[in-house]
Chain A
Amino acid sequence: QSVLTQPPSASGTPGQRVTISCSGSSSNIGSNYVYWYQQLPGTAPKLLIYRNNQRPSGVPDRFSGSKSGTSASLAISGLRSEDEADYYCAAWDDSLSAVVFGGGTKLTVL
């Protein structure tokens, strides 16, 4: 059981907007930044969003992050077939002194 809770799956059609939620607690999301990673099939994870809503260079602005209280969300607008991947949220947990990941959300583009 992961410390951060994500839905196991999400789906959308091309062009649609989808959101993926990530729920935590006061010791992780509630007091620290949230990060999102994208893992395309058969590849290593890639940093997608850092410090709640910042995009690394090269990440399209179709991807956006937000945080409120002990929850966070990743939004993908203008969905494309190449967005089909696993998405993980992550945060530092002050109680555990550890990085904690969500269980991951498998995004399917229909």
Chain B
Amino acid sequence: EVQLVESGGGLVQPGGSLRLSCAASGFTFSSYSMNWVRQAPGKGLEWVSYISSSSSTIYYADSVKGRFTISRDNAKNSLYLQMNSLRDEDTAVYYCARGHGDYVLLDYWGQGTLVTVSS
């Protein structure tokens, strides 16, 4: 059974940093691309970042470019999102999602971890 479990969320002050993790199991992690997608409270989905299976291709949304860094460790079956210079508008539930071929085909999602940016 495919499982994605996010962790690392919490309360952080504006300008602070946080590192999210996503532990994957039930599939060959190194064969799949991965994504982070977020959802602000009461709002819609916003794609954040994409990383290919080998980490050779990475994309970011303009809203996080230069502040967030996606990475993965295939030996540890883990996906990460390093978030720096956090802003109030980064407050959201962050989901990790498995990609399957197409950039937009996200076939499995985690349950999400809440990041709250507030003073």
- The residue that B35 contacts in the complex, of A88, A91, A99, A102, with Cβ under 8 A, is A99
- B side interface size, CB within 8 A: 23
Q: How far is the CB of B43 from chain A (nearest CB, A)?
A: 8
Any chain A CB within 8 A of the CB of B45?
Answer: yes
Q: How many A-B residue pairs have CB under 8 A?
A: 63
> Could you tell me if A33 and B102 are in contact, using CB atoms closer than 8 angstroms?
yes
Give A47 to B105 CA distance when docked, in angstroms.
8
Interface string of A26-61 (1 = CB under 8 A from B): 000000110101010000111100110000100000
Q: How far is the CB of A23 from chain B (nearest CB, A)?
A: 15
Q: In which size bucket is the chain A interface?
A: 20 to 34
> Could you tell me if A88 and B62 are in contact, using CB atoms closer than 8 angstroms?
no
- The residue that A91 contacts in the complex, of B46, B50, B104, with Cβ under 8 A, is B104
Question: B27 to chain A: which residues have CB within 8 Å?
Answer: none
Q: Classify the secondary structure of A's interface with B.
A: strand
> Could you tell me if B47 and A99 are in contact, using CB atoms closer than 8 angstroms?
yes
Q: Write the residues of chain B forming the contact surface with A, with a CB cutoff of 8 angstroms.
A: 35, 37, 44-47, 50, 59-62, 95, 97, 102-107, 109-112
Q: Write the residues of chain A forming the contact surface with B, with a CB cutoff of 8 angstroms.
A: 2, 32-33, 35, 37, 39, 44-47, 50-51, 56, 86, 88, 90-92, 96-104
